[in-house]
Chains A and B, each alone.
Chain A
C-alpha cells in the first residue's frame, strides 16, 4: 500500500499523457515497437457510454412489446400468409380472409399486427391519462392528453373485443 504513491510520482514525472499507469508491460512496449516507431498524434477520444434515460428505454420496450404480442415469433416459425383467402363457391372469386378461423393459437400476419397495435394503443391511452393528471402543463395540453387517452382506451378495448369475437365466434356465449 505504501509503495503506490511512490510509483505514482515516478510515473507521473515520465508520463505526460493521460493517467498514471501501473501496467507492467507498458515500459516494455515503450522500448520495443515504440522505440523506433512514432505513433501519430491523433485526437481520438474514447466514446463515453452514458446510460439512456428511462423514457428512451421505455420507448424501446414498448416497441419490443408490440412485436412480441403481435406474434412475431409465430410468424417467423410457422410462416403463415400475410392474409388468408377463400374461394367463393358460387362465383369463383377469391375473397380475402383476415382472421384465421377455427383455432385459438393460429394467426395470419396482418391480424397479428393489427391486434398488437390495438393493445399498445390501449396502454398508451392509460399513459396519456396519467400524463394529463400529473403534470404542471398548460391546461389545454392536459385536456387534449386526457381526451386522447380516454379515446385511445375506448377504441382499443372496443376493437379488441370485436377482433376476438370475429376470431372465436363462440366467445362469451
Chain B
C-alpha cells in the first residue's frame, strides 16, 4: 500500500484525500489506512445524504412524539386518566379476558340500573380491538405485560404513527421538505397532545391517526387514479368508523371536496374511480359496526355523500355522451336537460325520504355544529359539557401558537399553486377551523390540517430564503444554470449590486425563522407539561412551602367502595363519575358518562335537588344503596358537585317541571352562604356536601365552615340527615359516600 499510495489516492478521489502528504506514507501506514477508509465510506452521494437526513429526522420525530407525551407517567404513575378512558379500559379488559365473541354480544347490567346497557351495540370497537391486538402480539412475543400498560401507551404510540402519515401526506400535497416539517410540527402540537397523552385512553388517540390515514390515501387515489389506493382509503375509512363518532366529518368533507372539484372544472376519471370505490366499499364496511348500522343510507348526515355519488355518475354519463356526440349544440341542450332532471329527481327523492321519516334528521350533536345556538336552548346535557363550549382566542393561541400566523400564509401558498391535493388540504383546513371555532374539543380535528398548511408555509418560505442565501455571484458566469433552474422561472437574477446585503438579509431571516420555531417548541413543551398532563383522577397542588401535595381521594373512595360494600350494592352519583365507579369500584351505578337516557339522568338530578324526604322516595324506587358526592370545600377543588349543581337542576327541570331553577337562586345569583335560597340550603346535595362541615376549620383566620372553593362561609351549618348516614369521607373530604338507610320498621 505504501508504494501505491499515490495511484490509490489518485484513482479513488481526485481532490479529497490530498490532505495525506505522500512523504508521510511510510512510517504511518496503519493510521493512514483508517482516515482513508473513513473518508471513503463517509463520502456519500447527494441522494444518499438526503435519504439519510430524511430518515434520521423522521426517526427523531417519531421518538419525540412518543416521549413528549410521557409527562404524567413520570410524575405520577402509569394510570388511566379522566372519565371516559375508564370505560374503554374496562371494555378492553373484558375483551382480553373473555374474547371477541363475548365482547361483541355483551349486555352490561352493572350500569344504568335498572335498564342496563347493550355495550356490544353501543360502542366504537376500534380502540379496544387495537389495544387488544397489541396486547396479544406482545404476549405472543412473550412480553408479560399488563393490559393497563398497553392501554396507557396506546395513544402516544399512535401519535408517533400519525407523524409518519403526516410526512407522507405533506410529501403528496407539496414536497418532502413540507412533509418533514409537518411531521415535526404535529409531533409536539398541543392541540393534538391534549387528547393523546399517555394515559388518555380515548377514541381520539387512535381516531386522528385513522383520519389522517384515510385522507392521505384518498388524496393519493385522486392523484394517481389507482383502484388500489382508493380501496385502501376505504379500509382506512372503515378503521375510522370503528374508532370514533367523528367519522361523520370524513363522510361529509370528501363529498364536499368532490363537489368543489366538479365546480372548478377539475372533473377527471381519476376522481371518478377514487370516490366511487371509496364510497361504495367504505359504506359497506361501515355497516359492519353495529353502532353505526344502516345510518349510511338512513341518516340525514350521510346523505351528502350519496347525493354526490349520484351526481358523479351523471357527470360520467354526460362525459361519455359528449365523447360519442360530435355536435356541441345538441350536447349543450342534452346537458341542460339531464342536469335539471337529475337534480330534480334527487331533490324529490330527498324530500320524500325526509317526509316519510325514512331519512332521519341531523342528530342534536352534529346539528349544534351548524347552528351553535341550538344546544344552548334545547339540549342542556350537550351544553353542559365544558369541552363543547365555543372557543375563545386564547384557546387557539394555547393550542397552536406560531401556527396561527403560518396558517394564512400556507393558505396563500396553496392558492398560488392550485392542484387537486392542495384544494383538498385547503378545504380540510377551513372546515376544521370553523368547527374548532364552534367547539373547543374539535381543535383536535383541526390540528393536522393546521400543521400541514403551516408546514407548507414554512417550507416554501425557508426554501425561498435559502435560495437567496445560497445565490452565488453569477454576474460574470454563464453557469447561472443552477440559479435559473432552481428558481422555477421566477427571476431572482437581478440581485447583482446588492448581493451581500440580500444574502445577509436572507441569513438573518433564516435565523429569525429558526428562533420562531424554537419558541414554538418551548411553548409546546411548557403547555404539555403544565396544562395537559394531569390525570384528572389525581389532583396536585402546591403546598405552603412550595412542595407538591397529591390528593388521591378519588381512588381512595373507589377502593373503599370495592372492599367495604356488598357486591350487588348500587351507587347513585352524578353521571360524571359513573365510568370510574364501575371500573375501579366494581359496583353497579345508576347513571354514567354515556348519557344515553336523559330521563334517567333527570331522575337522578331531581333526587339531588329535592328535599331529603322526596329524594328518599326516588332513591327507594331506584334501589339505591349508596350515594356518592364530590365536594371541594376543604381543598378548594372547583370541579365539585356544588359547582355542577345548577346543571343538575336544569337537566332535572327539563323533564320534571316541579324542579324550577329560580328556586335555587337569589336575585339570579347562585349562593351557598347565609343569604342563599331556602330550597338550596335544604336540598339533598347541599346536605350531603356540607354534613359535619360546619365544625371544620379549613383555613387559618376564617370561621369554621368556610368553603374554600366558593370563598364563603356556608349558610346552614347544623345539618341533620334523617334517611341517610355517612359511610365514608376521604382524607381531604373530596369524595363523600353515604349509605341509604332501609325504611323504618312499622312499629
- Interface residues, chain A, with chain B CB atoms under 8 Å away: 1, 4-5, 8, 19-23, 51, 54-55, 57-58, 61-62, 64-65, 68-74, 76-78, 104-107, 111-112, 115-116, 119-120, 122-127, 129-130, 133-136, 139, 146, 150, 153, 156-157, 160, 163-164, 167-168, 170-172
Contacts and interface: CB of A to CB of B under 8 A. Distances in A.
A74 B397 contact: no
A69 B264 contact: no
A156 B372 contact: no
Given A20-B330, A135-B490, A104 B395 contact: yes
Nearest to B328: A19
A115 B398 CA distance: 13
B409 interface: yes
A71 B509 contact: no
Contacts of A106: 392, 394
Contacts of A104: 392, 394-395, 398, 531
Interface in B365-414: 372-373, 376, 389-398, 402, 404-409, 411-413
Given A1-B324, A77-B372, A157-B516, A124 B408 contact: yes
A62 B393 contact: no
Contacts of A71: 390-393, 396, 437
15 contacts: A19-B333, A20-B329, A51-B264, A62-B411, A68-B434, A71-B390, A71-B396, A73-B390, A74-B392, A120-B408, A125-B405, A127-B412, A134-B490, A150-B509, A172-B526
Contact of A57 (B372, B415, B526): B415
Contacts of B509: 129, 150
Nearest to A114: B393
B327 A136 contact: no
Contacts of B324: 1
Contacts of A21: 333
Nearest to A170: B530
Contact of B491 (A111, A116, A136, A171): A136
Which residue, of A106, A112, A130, has the highest number of chain B Cβ atoms within 10 A?
A130
Interface stretch (B272-280, B460-468, B555-563): B460-468
Given A106-B392, A119-B404, A126 B457 contact: yes
Contacts of B394: 104-107, 115, 164, 167-168
Contacts of B405: 119, 122-123, 125-126, 153, 156-157
A69 B404 contact: yes
A149 B330 CA distance: 54
B418 interface: yes
B17 interface: no
The list of the 6 closest CB pairs from A to B, nearest first, reads: A123-B408, A122-B405, A126-B409, A107-B392, A74-B390, A68-B437
B408 A51 contact: no
Contacts of B402: 157
B264 to A, nearest CB: 6
A69 B411 contact: no
Name which of A20, A73, A127, A130 has the most chain B CB atoms within 10 A of its CB: A73
A157 B457 CA distance: 16
Contacts of B491: 136
Interface of B: 263-265, 324-325, 327, 329-330, 332-334, 337, 372-373, 376, 389-398, 402, 404-409, 411-413, 415-416, 418, 426, 430, 433-434, 436-438, 440, 457, 460-461, 464-465, 468, 490-492, 494, 505, 509, 512, 516, 522-523, 526, 530-531
B376 A127 contact: no
A20 B333 contact: yes
Nearest to B395: A105
Nearest to B417: A54
A106 B492 CA distance: 47
Contacts of B436: 68
A162 B404 CA distance: 15
Contacts of A19: 329, 332-333
A112 B393 contact: yes
A8 B433 CA distance: 52
Contacts of A163: 397
Contacts of A58: 411-412, 415
B545 to A, nearest CB: 18
Given A122-B404, A123-B408, 16 more contacts: A22-B330, A61-B430, A62-B411, A64-B434, A69-B404, A74-B390, A74-B437, A105-B392, A120-B408, A123-B407, A125-B405, A130-B413, A133-B492, A136-B490, A167-B394, A172-B523
A31 B260 CA distance: 41
B418 A54 contact: yes
A108 B310 CA distance: 46
A173 B408 CA distance: 30
B390 A133 contact: no
Q: Which of B405, B434, B516, B526 has the most CB of A within 10 A?
A: B405
B461 A129 contact: yes
Nearest to A49: B263
A150 B330 CA distance: 57
B182 to A, nearest CB: 17
